[in-house]
């Protein structure tokens, strides 16, 4: 029994030694691995340190900002000020009405600008009879020839308009008769004419009636006869006074009579074209 116990203890002791040896070998292996890892880490640290030492530092100027002088205030917003719409319409400058001018096409039958046309009045026209705005006619005295076969034959009738007329109230007053050419008829066609009056053969004429003049002469004669008879105390004085009075009455009649500007039948009217006059080609 004792032998068995001793054998058992010996077996246990041997197993313990084997396990201890095994643990010792494992511990030594772990310590060797740890030492190798530490050596590798040290090598890496030395390599990195060497790389950092060889690298050249990069210098860059950076402005120093003073936090006291740096404004952190947000920029002000530009808010547009609303404008009140104007209720007053814009003023426009009036333009003078211009006379439309037709430019003749190339090859058109044309009477050139500057051409003079002479007409003869078809009837008598006077400032005391014919009023502003009335019209009268006159016939072309001679042919008007232009380019590309343009022709206004003699006898062509033109229409004139009276633009202003005035009667003189005495011998010292002014009278006038103003007119413009409106159109001219060539064959069956009527053409508007842009022209200026160059000359008109008008004359100044007394517009008082014969009866009015007779009354003024008779009145003067009566007054003269009475004065002559009183002064001369005889019939002869009355006759002489009457003659003198009649002469005075005639002078008064002449001085106080109305005068007008008249255009007799057949009187000349000369116009000058301001722009070309285009006619229909035949």
* Of the options 2.40.128.260, 3.40.1260.10, 2.60.450.10, 3.40.470.10, the CATH number for the domain spanning 109-206+259-279: 2.40.128.260
- Residues forming beta bridges with residue 162, ordered by sequence position: 179
177 sits in which H/E element: strand 176-186
User: Could you tell me the two tokens for 242?
Assistant: 């009457």
Dump pLDDT digits (tens) for 199-212.
999 999 998 655 55
86-94 long-range contacts, CB within 8 A, separation 24+ = none
Phi, psi at 199, each rounded to 5°: -165, 140
Residues whose CB falls within 8 Å of the CB of residue 212, separated by 6 or more in sequence, listed in order? 253, 257
Contact by Cβ (8 Å): 193, 277: yes
Dump pLDDT digits (tens) for 86-131.
554 444 444 434 444 445 456 689 999 999 999 999 999 999 999 9
Contact by Cβ (8 Å): 168, 175: yes
| Whether pTM exceeds 0.75 | no
Q: What angle do CA 93, 99, 103 make, to 5 degrees?
A: 125
* pLDDT at position 215: 53
Phi, psi at 94, each rounded to 5°: -70, 145
> In angstroms, how far is CA 237 from the centroid of its own chain?
81
Contact by Cβ (8 Å): 108, 148: yes
């Amino acid at each position: 029994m004792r032998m068995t116990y001793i054998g058992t203890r010996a077996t246990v002791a041997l197993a313990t030694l084997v396990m201890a040896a095994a643990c010792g070998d494992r511990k030594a292996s772990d310590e060797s691995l740890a030492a190798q890892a530490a050596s590798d880490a040290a090598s890496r640290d030395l390599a990195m340190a060497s790389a950092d030492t060889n690298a050249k530092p990069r210098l860059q100027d950076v402005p120093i900002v003073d936090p006291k002088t740096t404004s952190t205030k947000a920029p002000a917003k530009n808010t547009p000020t609303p404008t009140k719409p104007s209720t007053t319409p814009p003023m426009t400058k009036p333009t003078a009405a211009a006379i439309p001018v037709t430019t003749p096409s190339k090859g058109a039958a044309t009477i050139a600008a500057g051409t003079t046309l002479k007409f003869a009045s078809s009837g008598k026209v006077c400032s005391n009879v014919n009023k502003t705005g009335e019209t009268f006619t006159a016939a072309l005295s001679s042919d008007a020839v232009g380019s590309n076969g343009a022709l206004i034959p003699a006898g062509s009738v033109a229409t004139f308009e009276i633009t202003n007329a005035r009667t003189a109230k005495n011998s010292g007053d002014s009278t006038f008769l103003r007119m413009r050419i409106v159109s001219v008829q060539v064959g069956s066609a009527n053409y508007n004419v842009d022209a200026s009056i160059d000359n008109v053969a008008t004359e100044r004429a007394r517009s008082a009636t014969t009866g009015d003049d007779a009354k003024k002469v008779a009145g003067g004669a009566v007054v003269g006869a009475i004065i002559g008879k009183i002064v001369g105390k005889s019939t002869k004085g009355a006759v002489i006074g009457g003659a003198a009075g009649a002469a005075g009455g005639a002078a008064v009649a002449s001085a106080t009579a109305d005068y007008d500007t008249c255009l007799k039948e057949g009187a000349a009217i000369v116009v000058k074209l301001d722009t070309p006059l285009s006619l229909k080609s035949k």
